[in-house]
A and B are shown apart, each in its own frame.
Chain A
């Protein structure tokens, strides 16, 4: 038994170009929204996950959710520093940084609206611990001076963030002497300065967090237990990767739920569109279908031909949608992370995973929309179909 050639389906789409374009652009928009929300969640996750490195440990006060809420006093910091699991740097000092993390209000350049920006006071180990961070403009601040360096996103988006400008907080003017880039990490949305200077300016006698590199990555669980059960300490330790993943949890979940809800609703619309198109395709070709049946093509090959047609329709829509969504990678979203109350910039990120998920999704939409009409076509009675005008 010969089946209907595949180009029958293809040519049918071509013959009714306007309808094909309209239907598949409806689907393309749905796939666009689907892909864009996935890309946004992916971008957020990528930003926050890459911010941490697996071998680094963040120590914050017990039950504080973020560095901003946390406080670790000097004596506790010294105890953690003396742990034997802490790696030793090239200079012979522990690769451990005692940091201060606070939020300040800065105005955005474009909108003139305030946003909370993270200011991080770092010590000498701050840079060696973050291999992603490198200076792209200007110079490093001199220790002990009122100088800071700004992350790339801050320099671009906030007033006073560029090299040569000053930001005012803590009753002092701080000169921005450099701009640093940190890959796609959240550090891009921070300002860094000397920890001792900042602690004085903010009149905070305690550190916010301790970051250190593990001597041996496998020693983490043992160390965590020791730190958390030490009666002198009221801290908890997390791997840096875990810490940043926790920070983004709420927002990532919000984006996922929102994306899912939108996609479900939108795909209903697009499936209905596909169904209308395919029903019309079947109705227009009643005589044709009758002829094919009379020629000997059986029900299943008619079914296949029509389903193939609607799968193609979906695929065209999916490809168009992904094409459009790929341009979203140029856009950077800057918003407040609810968990830390601080500004965070991240971009849409297209991955291979998202591409095939979107294509699969568009094909499924095509199938759902085309199944019923194809079934109708396949179940037509030959004689009646031939008699139809």
Chain B
């Protein structure tokens, strides 16, 4: 108890220095948490993919289509519950800066495959009945102030032309993390138009979504589908939705690794700052330590005092940083909603933040602790300043 009191008293002897250090640590921990959450977001697409969904695409790469006739043949594969298909449309609304994902899909089965998209039954029916209809996620609709019945025009990049859609439904996500910034419209609309303008490209789909009866069968179904089309003009590659998303993520992994490294660099920087504070503090108090030793305190007591002070300061900073993580992520979620509609800090992140703070405190105290505890009494007393 006595030592605890001494540590706290010591920590606040240099109010300015201690508070500067605490602020520094808090900022670093905050930045560390934000960067970790950012990296986590990258993997969000992987996290929210369902285990019972498979994606079939052209084996060469995503830019090659598959014939629509595969639909029936996939449906016959044992273990397949339902099949749907779609095209990545890559339409542009207003200009390139207003990016959101948009797909042409076969609506009825597609929406069944995605139970996490919650859409009122009447809106769903209206969408399915209207060939030019489309549905969008809640966040996307809010961003542009769209209401049901509005006309939305996209400029096609892969499929040239101006495409007009009527908004028929707005879906909500089942989970907070569900993607709500997607626009989906009828594949038939795309196909009928292509038949008129570019017949060569009609009757082709970008990918098939397969729902399997149970997740255990996913691997065998995937193999069976690929076997069906082996040595055909369009060979397929079927993988679980998770693996499919992971493929995208791993292509940009280099940048994520860089961000991860940087998040450790920030910890290193603040570790140096904290070590500096502790080194200065210990140097100034060396005569005190010598005095304490004269009074009979052992080396371990001195070590405890220096070490305790360092960890104490680091933990205050860490806690402050961890607390600030919440308003900061809330701010990002509301102010930068178009980039990060979902910026939620996980409990793991908070724990790691606090652990990082503790590491900072321990690392910063190593050298001063060693110096304080090994100082020879005579030498310490002789020192000035």
Interface residues, chain A, with chain B CB atoms under 8 Å away: 18-19, 22-23, 25-26, 29-30, 32-33, 40, 61-65, 68-69, 102-105, 111, 113-116, 169-171, 202-203, 205, 234, 258, 262, 265-266, 268-270, 272-273, 275-277, 279-280, 284, 333-336, 338, 341, 343
Cβ 8 A contact of B62, one of A63, A169, A170, A341: A341
B5 to chain A, nearest CB (A): 25
In the complex, are the beta carbons of B269 and A276 less than 8 A apart? Answer: no
In the complex, are the beta carbons of B63 and A269 less than 8 A apart? Answer: no
In the complex, are the beta carbons of A284 and B20 less than 8 A apart? Answer: no
Q: Please tell me if B382 contacts chain A, counting CB pairs below 8 Å.
A: no
Residues of chain B within 8 A of A336, CB atoms compared: 248, 251-252
In the complex, are the beta carbons of B275 and A22 less than 8 A apart? Answer: yes
Cβ 8 A contact of A26, one of B248, B258, B269: B269
Q: How many residues of chain B have a CB within 8 Å of chain A?
A: 54
5 cross-chain CB contacts under 8 A = A63-B157, A105-B61, A276-B276, A279-B17, A279-B20
B29 to chain A, nearest CB (A): 10
Q: Please tell me if B345 contacts chain A, counting CB pairs below 8 Å.
A: no
Task: Give B57's nearest chain A residue, CB to CB.
Answer: A105
Task: Give A372's nearest chain B residue, CB to CB.
Answer: B16
A279-B20 Cα distance, complex, nearest whole Å: 11
In the complex, are the beta carbons of B64 and A258 less than 8 A apart? Answer: no
A225-B335 Cα distance, complex, nearest whole Å: 41
A22-B64 Cα distance, complex, nearest whole Å: 56
B232 to chain A, nearest CB (A): 9
Interface centre among B160, B269, B272 (most CB of A within 10 A): B269
Instruction: In the complex, identify which listed stretch (B109-117, B120-128, B187-195, B259-267) lies at the interface while the others stay far away.
Output: B259-267
A334-B254 Cα distance, complex, nearest whole Å: 7
Binary per-residue interface labels of chain B (212-226) against chain A in the complex, 1 for a CB within 8 Å, 0 otherwise: 000000000000000
Known: A102-B61, A102-B64. A273 touches B272 (CB 8 A): yes
A73 to chain B, nearest CB (A): 9
In the complex, are the beta carbons of A69 and B158 less than 8 A apart? Answer: yes
Known: A234-B160, A266-B31, A279-B17. A103 touches B61 (CB 8 A): yes
Cβ 8 A contact of B269, one of A65, A169, A266: A266
B353 to chain A, nearest CB (A): 15
B311 to chain A, nearest CB (A): 18
In the complex, are the beta carbons of A265 and B266 less than 8 A apart? Answer: yes
In the complex, are the beta carbons of B273 and A273 less than 8 A apart? Answer: yes
In the complex, are the beta carbons of A338 and B27 less than 8 A apart? Answer: no
Q: Please tell me if B184 contacts chain A, counting CB pairs below 8 Å.
A: no
In the complex, are the beta carbons of B27 and A335 less than 8 A apart? Answer: no
A379-B60 Cα distance, complex, nearest whole Å: 73
Task: Give B385's nearest chain A residue, CB to CB.
Answer: A284
Interface residues, chain B, with chain A CB atoms under 8 Å away: 16-17, 20-21, 23-24, 27-28, 31, 59-64, 90, 92, 96, 155-158, 160, 200, 231, 233, 235, 237, 247-248, 250-255, 258-259, 262, 265-266, 268-270, 272-273, 275-277, 279-280, 284, 367, 385
In the complex, are the beta carbons of A335 and B269 less than 8 A apart? Answer: no
Residues of chain B within 8 A of A33, CB atoms compared: 262, 265
Residues of chain B within 8 A of A335, CB atoms compared: 251-255
A276-B268 Cα distance, complex, nearest whole Å: 17
In the complex, are the beta carbons of B279 and A18 less than 8 A apart? Answer: yes
Residues of chain B within 8 A of A65, CB atoms compared: 90, 96, 157
Residues of chain B within 8 A of A341, CB atoms compared: 62-63
B23 to chain A, nearest CB (A): 6
Residues of chain A within 8 A of B60, CB atoms compared: 102, 104-105, 169-170, 202
Interface centre among A22, A203, A266 (most CB of B within 10 A): A22
In the complex, are the beta carbons of A270 and B269 less than 8 A apart? Answer: yes
Residues of chain B within 8 A of A40, CB atoms compared: 258
A30-B252 Cα distance, complex, nearest whole Å: 24
Residues of chain B within 8 A of A169, CB atoms compared: 60
Task: Give A23's nearest chain B residue, CB to CB.
Answer: B276
In the complex, are the beta carbons of A63 and B269 less than 8 A apart? Answer: no
Residues of chain B within 8 A of A64, CB atoms compared: 157-158, 160
In addition to A270-B273, A272-B20, A338-B252, 4 A-B residue pairs with Cβ atoms within 8 Å of each other are A266-B265, A279-B20, A335-B253, A336-B252
Residues of chain A within 8 A of B367, CB atoms compared: 18
Residues of chain B within 8 A of A277, CB atoms compared: 276, 280
B273 to chain A, nearest CB (A): 4
A170-B157 Cα distance, complex, nearest whole Å: 25
Task: Give B271's nearest chain A residue, CB to CB.
Answer: A26
A347-B148 Cα distance, complex, nearest whole Å: 48
Task: Give B17's nearest chain A residue, CB to CB.
Answer: A276
By Cβ-Cβ distance, the 3 closest A-B pairs, closest first, are A336-B251, A273-B273, A272-B24
In the complex, are the beta carbons of B17 and A205 less than 8 A apart? Answer: no
Residues of chain A within 8 A of B21, CB atoms compared: 272, 276
In the complex, are the beta carbons of A69 and B259 less than 8 A apart? Answer: no
Cβ 8 A contact of A276, one of B235, B250, B273: B273
Residues of chain B within 8 A of A338, CB atoms compared: 252
In the complex, are the beta carbons of A69 and B24 less than 8 A apart? Answer: no
In the complex, are the beta carbons of B251 and A115 less than 8 A apart? Answer: yes
Task: Give A265's nearest chain B residue, CB to CB.
Answer: B31
Residues of chain B within 8 A of A61, CB atoms compared: 160
Known: A63-B155, A68-B63, A169-B60. A272 touches B258 (CB 8 A): no
In the complex, are the beta carbons of A269 and B24 less than 8 A apart? Answer: yes
In the complex, are the beta carbons of B61 and A116 less than 8 A apart? Answer: yes
Residues of chain A within 8 A of B266, CB atoms compared: 262, 265-266, 269
Residues of chain A within 8 A of B276, CB atoms compared: 19, 22-23, 26, 273, 276-277
Task: Give A258's nearest chain B residue, CB to CB.
Answer: B259
In the complex, are the beta carbons of B63 and A103 less than 8 A apart? Answer: yes
Known: A276-B277, A335-B254, A336-B251. A268 touches B272 (CB 8 A): no
Residues of chain A within 8 A of B17, CB atoms compared: 276, 279-280
A265-B262 Cα distance, complex, nearest whole Å: 12
Known: A268-B24, A272-B21. A343 touches B157 (CB 8 A): no
A103-B255 Cα distance, complex, nearest whole Å: 21
Residues of chain A within 8 A of B252, CB atoms compared: 335-336, 338
In the complex, are the beta carbons of A202 and B64 less than 8 A apart? Answer: yes
In the complex, are the beta carbons of A269 and B254 less than 8 A apart? Answer: no
